[in-house]
Structure 1
Amino acid sequence: MPTVPAPLPPIGSRLAGVRSSPVRDLLALVGNEDVISFAGGLPAPELFDVEGLREAYAQALTGDAARRNLQYAASEGDPALRELVAARLTRRSLPTEPDDLLITTGSQQALSLLTTALLEPGAVVAVEEPSYLAALQSFALAGARVVGIAADEHGVVPASVEEVLREHRPRVLYLVPNFANPTGRTLPAPRRARIAELAAEHGTWVVEDDPYGELRYSGEHVAPLAADPALADRCVHLGSFSKTGAPGLRLGWARVPRSLRPALVVAKQAADLQTSTVDQAAAAVYLARTDLDAHVATVVAAYRERRDAALAALADALPAGSSWSRPEGGMFTWVRLPDPGGTLDTASLLPGALAAGVAFVPGEPFFAGAPDRATLRLSFTTHTPARIHEGVARLGTALEAALGTVPASG
């Protein structure tokens, strides 16, 4: 008599409360030329330095170094790459030594390693409201309790930070101070100084996620949180090549205080042993041979034009009473639609927008606490100004059909 297979064990309960990212789900639209997608925070592929990267890989796979670059390597990362990244961070007002750095498979992995090292189920993480969706996923997967901090057009409000630190005693304070995802806000220097003081006073780890910091289109450079002496032993600064190089490299880094480095290295070893040796070697060749500042300047000029096109188009197309952020850099603007009755949910507007040939991300998933459902996120970096104007016009038409409103300029 054949044996009846027993049911398989259930999937781990930690995933039960982790939602799929609507951004990832909407990325399927990228290949659909009929849809202008403002959903994913995607760099413009036509600005990738394909030839420069091709030559860097060729050099990394040539000569005596080729076989070494195809071998296992140290978990901390390629020494030459860490030296080059450290020098670049130092030039950007964050003094850094190569030994301060851990190379990761994208900065998202660095965030995952930090949740492993710093968080236990039930631990509290404090985040700006709204906050980076993938960070919220990572904290949920760790079983953490996420508490939102009130923010305004300049980022988190120090008084709210102080209140959350006092009442909830979070283990980690997570911030994206430069051109935040999803809002595009930038935290001013005086607020950074006060937040550093508060974090030191309350014994809280600070995670400063800075993937967009080099993409500044207007305003003045602001020194990183990690540069504040009060945070010298308690701030982890995350960075990435995804926005200045190419996301397909999957290369990021964490600048880590000495006391935390051994734990993160062990977490890295358990996760994947090391980030791709050959990709790190090619990146080191590329940084050594390329004027990255000149490349970034080209990218910034293109994105500045696209940001300006998006802001102008929104003024022409969105319903009267709408508001949106005016980012000094980065990839996003954050929109709030008029909601006099308090019942609007932009997720309900997405099907109509898709039917009109345009995509956005509804705001609700970006909130740790009670969401403002009248919000949505738009990314302006992927498309040309002409395509942006067309996409925003489609969005305006879809909103007018759904809400029965007219554009502010109408």
Structure 2
Amino acid sequence: MTTAATTATATLPLGDLHASLADPLLDAMTFLNEVTERYPDALSFAPGRPHEGFFEPEDVHTYLDTYLAHLAERGLSRSAVRTALFQYGPTKGIVADLVARTLANDEGIHADPEALVLTVGAQEGMLLVLRALCATPEDVLLVSSPCYVGVTGAARLLDLATVPVPEGPAGGPDPAAVRAAARAVRAAGRRPRALYVVPDFANPSGTSMPVGARAGLLEVAADEDLLVIEDNPYGFFTREPGGRPTLKALDGDRARVVHLGSFAKTCFPGARLGYVVADQRVLAPDGRTTLLADELAKLKSMTTVNTPALSQAVIGGMLLRHACRLRAANAPARAHYAANLAVLLRELERHFPAAERDRLGVSWNEPEGGFFAVLQVPFTADEAAMERCARDHGVLWTPMAPFYPAGGGERRLRLSISALDEDRIAAGVARLADFVRAAAS
């Protein structure tokens, strides 16, 4: 005979689960996805995904065939190719040599393939790096503010403390502010372990660090014994041809920078392929030395085991098809996103003339590239406002407040131009302008 006690469905109090699950930060993206599903006809400035017009399904087969031909040219037998594609494979990945060649061609980053770990997107790379570097509760991660929620969310999952460093007027974290934050953390009896930064067209603000500030940041990192975690998904997408040097390229032999990369924007996000360049030396108590990449691979072996070989093969084939030069291959995408950003800025100017901007308290930044711009508005730009905008005006955007680790950004919203075409951007700005006026009144 069964009793109520034995047949009742188990209920887990949220308070008994990890505290991060009650953090509103983890709900932000879920809410955005739900609103998007409820208003499928709304024009959306919310997603930061690439434009789908650059993808063709048949290309996947072409890239895979290219990589298989590459393996044959290297002299691998059919049995060895079968093993490479169908088995688990090495934890650090199977296309590190091609990625290293591409980094040298595109970014001037000269890394030994052994210093790379291929990851399941850049997000896994963040988790691995944070877990490896932050060893005690006293270790603190400095983050630029506003900051990509992926890294603050990862820190929350790992119970790591974060300290925000506000973006400077020129873009990115000001080196003097980084120094002050590191010293304040140290004065409080904790260790400032690393700084996370997106130096080019950051998500969410769209800002970029000037070259002088990049050099200054590396000097501060050396003085304060900080590592810099550089995330670089948008660097190719400048409004004008050319780009600024990455922190990793400027770092030279100092090995202060751990570089995170992703093929989500430069190839396609569905492959879920990222990488970490971790060439720092690690000294064991017995005097042995390894690379930080080797230590990250140990952590990876206990999480995702390895990165799918098929994803690596497809991206590897794509790199080979473009002679390991993705910057040149992405020239059409760069021009597309630059044109989209120009349309956004032009339409904001048209719908909010100077006199009206001053009266309403509306303003926006003018990024030099990337996917994002930020609009300052005269009302609280929260989830409720976003849903009203979707329901009544047929346009979506992203609230900025979740991107501020210590609070702020309540009257700011992020606009992404990557997934739309020019006509839809123009139509979306017109709808958004109507909503801003209605909300302001």
TM-score (norm 1): 0.90
Say which is worse superposed, 257-266 or 354-363, in terms of deviation.
257-266
**1:111 CA displacement:** 0.4
User: Are residue 331 (structure 1) and residue 347 (structure 2) matched?
Assistant: no
CA contact (8 A) 1:184 1:329 kept: yes
Hey, what does 1:89 align to over in structure 2? 103
Q: State the distance in 2 between where 1:177 and 1:265 align.
A: 26
Give 1:159's aligned amino acid.
A
Q: State the distance in 1 between where 2:332 and 2:35 align.
A: 27
Q: State the distance in 2 between where 1:27 and 1:317 align.
A: 28
- 1:194-343 to 2 correspondences below 5 Å: 194-218=216-240, 220-229=242-251, 232-259=254-281, 260-290=292-322, 292-318=326-352, 320=357, 321-338=361-378
Give 1:23's aligned amino acid.
M
Q: State the distance in 2 between where 1:268 and 1:385 align.
A: 41
User: Are residue 102 (structure 1) and residue 103 (structure 2) matched?
Assistant: no
CA contact (8 A) 2:120 2:274 kept: yes
| Aligned equivalent of 1:362, options 382, 399, 402 | 399
Q: State the distance in 1 between where 2:327 and 2:307 align.
A: 25
- 1:395-406 to 2 correspondences below 5 Å: 395-404=432-441
Q: State the distance in 2 between where 1:264 and 1:281 align.
A: 22
| Aligned equivalent of 1:52, options 37, 53, 59 | 59
User: Are residue 350 (structure 1) and residue 356 (structure 2) matched?
Assistant: no
| Aligned equivalent of 2:130, options 115, 125, 149 | 115
**1:290 CA displacement:** 3.0
**1:31-57 deviations in whole A, cap 9, x for unaligned?**
655111111101101112543323123
Give 1:85's aligned amino acid.
V
**1:2 CA displacement:** 3.0
**1:135-177 deviations in whole A, cap 9, x for unaligned?**
1111111112211112224221122111101111421200000
Give 1:71's aligned amino acid.
Q
For residues 29 and 49 of structure 1, do their structure 2 counterparts lie closer, same or farther at Cα, with a shift above 3 Å needed?
farther
CA contact (8 A) 2:43 2:395 kept: yes
Tell me the percent identity.
Answer: 31
User: Are residue 20 (structure 1) and residue 60 (structure 2) matched?
Assistant: no
**1:258 CA displacement:** 3.4
Give 1:2's aligned amino acid.
T
**1:232 CA displacement:** 2.9
**1:299 CA displacement:** 0.7
**1:317 CA displacement:** 2.8
Hey, what does 2:49 align to over in structure 1? 42
Q: State the distance in 2 between where 1:16 and 1:349 align.
A: 22
Hey, what does 2:210 align to over in structure 1? 188
For residues 329 and 50 of structure 1, do their structure 2 counterparts lie closer, same or farther at Cα, with a shift above 3 Å needed?
farther
Give 1:393's aligned amino acid.
A
User: Are residue 391 (structure 1) and residue 431 (structure 2) matched?
Assistant: no
Which of structures 1 and 2 has the bigger CA Rg? 2
CA contact (8 A) 1:18 1:140 kept: no
CA contact (8 A) 1:242 1:248 kept: yes
* Structure 2 unpaired stretches of 5+: 73-77, 187-191, 282-291
Q: State the distance in 2 between where 1:104 and 1:304 align.
A: 29
CA contact (8 A) 2:111 2:279 kept: no
Hey, what does 1:371 align to over in structure 2? 408
Say which is worse superposed, 9-18 or 198-207, in terms of deviation.
9-18
CA contact (8 A) 1:35 1:359 kept: yes
* Structure 1 unpaired stretches of 5+: 405-410
CA contact (8 A) 2:377 2:436 kept: no
CA contact (8 A) 1:345 1:373 kept: yes
**1:77-122 deviations in whole A, cap 9, x for unaligned?**
00xx211211121121222221121100001110011122122445
Task: Please give the secondary structure, in 1, of the residue aligned with 2:195.
Answer: strand
Give 1:305's aligned amino acid.
A
**1:336 CA displacement:** 1.2
**1:264 CA displacement:** 0.6
Say which is worse superposed, 365-374 or 229-238, in terms of deviation.
229-238
RMSD across aligned positions (CA)? 2.3
CA contact (8 A) 2:102 2:319 kept: no
Give 1:272's aligned amino acid.
T
CA contact (8 A) 1:182 1:332 kept: yes
Q: State the distance in 2 between where 1:37 and 1:214 align.
A: 23
Task: Please give the secondary structure, in 2, of the residue aligned with 1:228.
Answer: helix
How many matched pairs?
398
CA contact (8 A) 1:179 1:186 kept: yes
Give 2:435's aligned amino acid.
A
User: Are residue 167 (structure 1) and residue 184 (structure 2) matched?
Assistant: yes
For residues 194 and 155 of structure 1, do their structure 2 counterparts lie closer, same or farther at Cα, with a shift above 3 Å needed?
same
Q: State the distance in 2 between where 1:236 and 1:179 align.
A: 18
Say which is worse superposed, 61-70 or 113-122, in terms of deviation.
61-70
